[in-house]
């Protein structure tokens, strides 16, 4: 139920969510940092830095709401095409994030995981992210799953190669190739598919995100740029999700 309280001084919107129907896995395409900065006459990098602050707010609210997995698209396999200054700055931001947030992530029971080909990251960024994963691996709360040098097509190619290897080694036969086997060889092995995919900033495309896993995800778009994305926006997205009819091909 959406309630609008129109008081004299301020208009407040209260969103009441069904706690029995919180998406287990939310995946977000953190987009619009560059345009957020441009709107303000700032360097793109400042948009990325501001976007980093949004992560903390959204992660905390998602965790409070009972979301189990939050997957965030931080760097795509295509983002290497950007000017090397921007790529370098983003790689440094990963290090900054890891060192700044490690203590709180640990304390807040967050488990940090990654999807993507991390081997292509600069060593210092890789070390920082591995440190975060190691430090939080014994936590039991929400999974913060960071998509880093992630591409859905790359992921499918990697899984295909792995399955071919198992086939050539005689560990499996052609008849063993099914959805479960493919799932188990993706970067997301062991994680449920995203129930809800959120893309702020006005774009309505997947940009190579979770191509296999999004088969039955619900999509939610908004014009808000990621640095401005608020806890309320997350609730709005979940509210809309709760009012959708997920049929999975069946009739209901
Ligand atoms: C998303 O913001 C962050 C990354 C891709 C790393 P953008 O940098 O794509 O911002 P826009 O789309 O140019 O506004
Ligand atoms: C997708 O955003 C990748 C991330 C948010 C990390 P992009 O800004 O790279 O996507 P396109 O180029 O607009 O499709
Ligand atoms: Mg973008």
pLDDT computed for residue 10 by the predictor: 57
> Is the pLDDT confidence value at 55 over 50?
yes
> Is 247 within the bounds of a domain?
no
Are 146 and 114 in contact, with CB atoms under 8 Å apart?
Answer: yes
C-alpha to C-alpha distance for 204 and 76, rounded to whole angstroms = 16
> Is the pLDDT confidence value at 23 over 50?
yes
Which band of pLDDT confidence, cut at 50, 70 and 90, is reported for residue 48? Answer: very high
What's the domain range around 231? 25-241
> Is 18 within the bounds of a domain?
no
CA of 218 to the centre of ligand 1 (A): 22
Ligand lying closest to the C-alpha of residue 45: 1
> Is 205 within the bounds of a domain?
yes
In percent, the amount of the chain with pLDDT more than 70 equals 95
pLDDT computed for residue 84 by the predictor: 98
Q: Average pLDDT for residues 98-104, to the nearest whole number?
A: 98
> Is 252 within the bounds of a domain?
no
CB neighbour class for 42 (10 Å; exposed up to 12, middle 13-18, buried from 19)? middle
> Is 72 within the bounds of a domain?
yes
Ligand lying closest to the C-alpha of residue 74: 2
Q: Which two tokens stand for residue 187?
A: 């970067």
The CA angle 122-58-183, to the nearest 5 degrees, is: 60
> Is 248 within the bounds of a domain?
no
Q: How many domains does the chain have?
A: 1
pLDDT computed for residue 58 by the predictor: 98
> Is the pLDDT confidence value at 8 over 70?
no
122-131 pLDDT, tens per residue?
Answer: 999 999 999 9
Q: Which of 31, 58, 146 to mutate to test the pocket of ligand 2 (most atoms within 8 A of CB)?
A: 31
> Is 155 within the bounds of a domain?
yes
> Is the pLDDT confidence value at 118 over 80?
yes
> Is 175 within the bounds of a domain?
yes
Is 123 noted as a catalytic residue in this protein? Answer: no
Q: Which residue in the list 3, 21, 31, 178 is annotated as catalytic? A: 31
Is 31 noted as a catalytic residue in this protein? Answer: yes
pLDDT computed for residue 13 by the predictor: 82
200-248 pLDDT, tens per residue?
Answer: 999 999 999 999 999 999 999 999 999 999 999 999 999 999 999 999 9
CATH classification at residue 83: 3.40.1180.10
CA of 245 to the centre of ligand 2 (A): 28
Report yes or no on whether pTM surpasses 0.85. yes
pLDDT computed for residue 252 by the predictor: 78
Q: How many CB atoms lie within 10 A of CB 177?
A: 15
C-alpha to C-alpha distance for 222 and 236, rounded to whole angstroms = 10
Q: What is the 3-state secondary structure (H, E, C) of 132-149?
A: HHHHHCCCCCCEEEEEEE
Of 74, 70, 73, 72, the closest CA to residue 24 belongs to 70
> Is the pLDDT confidence value at 39 over 70?
yes
Mean pLDDT of the chain: 96
> Is the pLDDT confidence value at 63 over 70?
yes
pLDDT computed for residue 174 by the predictor: 98
Are 150 and 73 in contact, with CB atoms under 8 Å apart?
Answer: yes
In percent, the amount of the chain with pLDDT more than 90 equals 94
Q: Which residues pair with 27 in a beta bridge?
A: 71, 197
Residue 14 phi/psi, 5-degree rounding, is -110, 125
Report the run of H or E that residue 112 belongs to, with start and end.
strand 111-115
Instruction: Output the CA–CA distances (angstroms, integers) from residue 145 to 80, 162, 191, in the order listed.
Output: 20, 22, 10
133-182 pLDDT, tens per residue?
Answer: 999 999 999 999 999 999 999 999 999 999 999 999 999 999 999 999 99
């Amino acid at each position: 139920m959406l309630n609008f309280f129109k008081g004299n001084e301020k208009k407040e919107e209260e969103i009441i969510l069904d706690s029995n129907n919180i998406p287990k896995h939310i995946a977000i395409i953190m987009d619009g940092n560059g345009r957020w900065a441009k709107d303000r006459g700032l360097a793109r990098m400042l948009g990325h830095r501001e976007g980093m602050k949004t992560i903390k707010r959204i992660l905390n609210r998602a965790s409070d709401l009972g979301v189990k997995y939050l997957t965030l698209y931080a760097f795509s396999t295509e983002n290497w095409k950007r000017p090397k200054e921007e790529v370098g700055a983003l790689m440094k931001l990963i290090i900054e994030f890891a060192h700044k947030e490690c203590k709180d992530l640990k304390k807040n029971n967050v488990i940090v995981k990654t999807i993507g080909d991390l081997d292509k990251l600069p060593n210092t960024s890789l070390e920082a992210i591995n440190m975060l994963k190691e430090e939080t691996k014994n936590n039991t709360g929400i999974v913060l799953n960071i998509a880093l040098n992630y591409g859905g097509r790359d992921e499918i190619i990697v899984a295909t190669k792995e399955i071919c290897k198992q086939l050539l080694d005689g560990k499996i036969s052609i008849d063993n190739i099914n959805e479960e086997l493919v799932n188990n060889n993706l970067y997301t092995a062991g994680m449920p598919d995203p129930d809800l995919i959120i893309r702020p900033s006005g774009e309505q495309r997947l940009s190579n995100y979770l191509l296999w896993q999004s088969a039955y995800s619900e999509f939610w778009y908004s014009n808000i740029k990621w640095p401005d994305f608020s806890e309320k926006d997350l609730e709005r997205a979940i509210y809309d999700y709760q009012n959708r009819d997920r049929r999975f091909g069946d009739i209901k």
